[in-house]
Structure 1
Amino acid sequence: MQSADHKFDLVLSYPQWQGSGRSQHLRRGALAAAEVCRRYGPLVQVPDAGAGEDVGGIHRWTAIVEQFRSAKAMLDEKQPRSVLTAGGDCACDVAVIDYLHGRYPDLTVLWVDAHLDANTAATSPSGNFHGMPVAAIMGSAPADLRALLSTPLPPSQFRYVAAHVGDDGDWEFQRNNALSWLDPDRPVSGPIHVHFDLDALDPAAFPHVAYPEGRLSMEAGLAVVRGAAAGGALVGLTITEFAPADGRGAMEGSRFLERLCEAAVAG
C-alpha cells in the first residue's frame, strides 16, 4: 500500500454534507478529519457544490452528483494505489469504492457502520443519500449516477461490521442480495477497503456523531482496521460522519481518528 514517501498514495478530503439529514456539524468534522488524515499522504480536496437541488426524491442531489464528478476526476487523474478519505457524510464513499474496485476487481469492502445504508431512491423514507450508498455501489444508484459508475461491486465482496439499524428497504436489499457480516474467524484475502462510519461506535465512548446508535467498542473498531491492514492488504480507508458539536469535541474526537489512521498503516 505504501509508496516511498507517503503512507497512502492520496488523501481525499471529501467534506460532503448534502447527503445527511443531520448535517449541522459535519463540515466541522470533515475539516478536523482532513487535518488528521493529511499527515498520512498528499491531500486534495473535493470542492463544495453548495446546497444543490432535490431531484427524484433525493435531497440536494445535484450537489451530490457534482461532487461525485469532482472526486472521480481527481482519482482518475492521480491514479492512486491507496486512498485515505476524510468525510463527510458516508455517501462520499461511493466514488472511492468505485475507483478502487475498478483498480482491484477482487476488492472486498468492509462496511463498519451502525446502519445498513442499503435503501434506494424508491425505498428511502427520508430521501437522504447517505442512507443509500451500499445499494449504489452494487448497481442500484439513481440513473444519472449509475451512468458514471463502473462495474457494480458483487455482494460476495462485501461484509457488514456492526450494522444493526435499518428500515424495511434496507433489510429487503440485504435479504435480496444475501449481504453478510464479517466473520472474525474467516479472514478476508485480497485487497480491502474499510468504510468506517464513526456512528458504528458506542456513543458512550465516542459521542461526536449525529446518529448515536452504535454498539461497537473503540478497540473492536481499531481491530477491524488493523486486521484489514495486516500484510499490506488495505488499499482504502474512509472515515465518515464525524460531527463534533464544537471545537473541543473536534479535538477530542480527532484523537480516535489518528488511532484509526495509525491502525491502517500498521500492516
Structure 2
Amino acid sequence: MQSGDGAFDLVLSYPQWQGSGRPENLRRGAAATAEVCGRYGPMVQVPDAGEGEARGGINRWTAILEQFRSARAILDEHQPGRLLTAGGDCACDVAVIDYLHRRYPDLTVIWVDAHLDANTAETSPSGNFHGMPVAALMGAAPADLQALLSTPLSPARFHYVAAHLGDDGDWDFQRDKGLSWLDAGETVSGPIHIHFDLDSLDPAEFPHLAYPEGKLSLEAGLAVVRAAASSGTLVGLTITEFAPAGEAGAKDGSRFIERLCAAALT
C-alpha cells in the first residue's frame, strides 16, 4: 500500500512540545512529521494549549493535561483501529497508547528510544514530562492524569529497543517492574504499537535531534518496524522528537520519516 491509500484509519497530528526540556525546534519537526504522515490517512490535529503552568513538579503541566484531554476526545470520536501519530515530544504517546490499550487489551508496546522515560514527578530531576511516559502508562502518572487513564499497561507487554540512558529513578522503575529489552530477531504476536523516538538514532546518521545521544542505525530502526508489521498486527506507530534546526533539516529528516511510515506497511 502506498501513500494516499488510507493505510491508517486516522493520522493524529499531536505537536506537543511542552513536555520537552529542549522544545525550540520541536514545532518545526512536528509540522514536518505531520506533513509526511498525513499522506497515510485522514488527519486530525490536537490543538496547542500554549505555555501552560507548572503543577506538582511538572513543567507546563496544565497545557500537557489539556492536550491529553483533547487527544482522548479525538480518538474516542473517531475510534481508529489503526493509528499513526505525528508527534512532538514523546509524552504525546500516553494518550495514544491508553486509547489503543482500551481497544486492544492484549496490546504490546515496543518503545524505541535512547532513554528509559520511566521517571515520575517525584523522581525526575528536570520536571520534564517527556521523561515520564513509561511510568505514567504503568500506573505511576500524576494523580489528575491517572484519574483519566484506563488499566495500566502490563510490564510483560512492554519492550525497550535501543534504550540505554536514564536517571536513577528511571533505572529504579525499570528494575522494579522488570522491564525488558526486545531481543534481536524476537517476534511479537498480537496487536502491537511502536513508539519511535527519533533520538534513538545515531546522530551521525540522523542529526536532527534535540538530544543526540542515540546509537541505533537507520536500517536497524526500520527493521524493527518492518518486523512488527510483518509478524503481528501493527495497530499503532507514533513518531516523536524530530527537532530540525531549519527547513533544510526538516526536508532531510522527512525522508527517513517517509521510510518509517512505509515500513509500517510491510
**Quick one: distance in 1 between partners of 2:265 and 2:257?**
13
Give the match for residue 210 of structure 1: 210
How many percent of aligned residue pairs carry the same amino acid?
78
> TM-score, normalized by length of structure 2?
0.98
Using the TM superposition, give the Cα deviation of residue 232 of structure 1 relative to its aligned residue in structure 2, in angstroms. Answer: 5.5
Give the match for residue 13 of structure 1: 13
Give the match for residue 101 of structure 2: 101
What letter is aligned with 1:193?
A: H
Give the match for residue 124 of structure 1: 124
Cα deviation digits, residues 165-190 of structure 1 (max 9, x gap): 00100000000000000012331111
What letter is aligned with 1:185?
A: G
What SS does structure 1 have at the residue aligned with 2:175? helix
**Quick one: distance in 2 between partners of 1:170 and 1:161?**
15
Q: Is the Cα contact below 8 Å between 2:188 and 2:232 reproduced in 1?
A: no
Cα deviation digits, residues 79-98 of structure 1 (max 9, x gap): 00011000100000000000
176-185 or 124-133, which deviates more? 176-185
Q: Is the Cα contact below 8 Å between 2:15 and 2:89 reproduced in 1?
A: yes
Cα deviation digits, residues 212-232 of structure 1 (max 9, x gap): 000000000000000010055
Matching of residues 219-234 of structure 1 within 5 Å = 219-231=219-231, 233-234=233-234
**Quick one: distance in 2 between partners of 1:231 and 1:253?**
27
Using the TM superposition, give the Cα deviation of residue 6 of structure 1 relative to its aligned residue in structure 2, in angstroms. Answer: 1.2
User: Paired residues, what number?
Assistant: 265
**Quick one: distance in 2 between partners of 1:27 and 1:5?**
27
**Quick one: distance in 2 between partners of 1:5 and 1:215?**
33
- In structure 1, runs of 5+ residues without a counterpart are none
**Quick one: distance in 1 between partners of 2:185 and 2:230?**
15
Give the match for residue 23 of structure 2: 23
- In structure 2, runs of 5+ residues without a counterpart are none
What letter is aligned with 1:214?
A: G
Give the match for residue 79 of structure 1: 79
Using the TM superposition, give the Cα deviation of residue 233 of structure 1 relative to its aligned residue in structure 2, in angstroms. Answer: 1.0
Corresponding position: 1:157 with 2:164:
no
Give the match for residue 141 of structure 2: 141
Give the match for residue 190 of structure 1: 190
What letter is aligned with 1:127?
A: G
**Quick one: distance in 1 between partners of 2:186 and 2:127?**
36
What letter is aligned with 1:139?
A: G
Deviation beyond 2 Å, 4+ runs, structure 1: none
Using the TM superposition, give the Cα deviation of residue 156 of structure 1 relative to its aligned residue in structure 2, in angstroms. Answer: 0.3
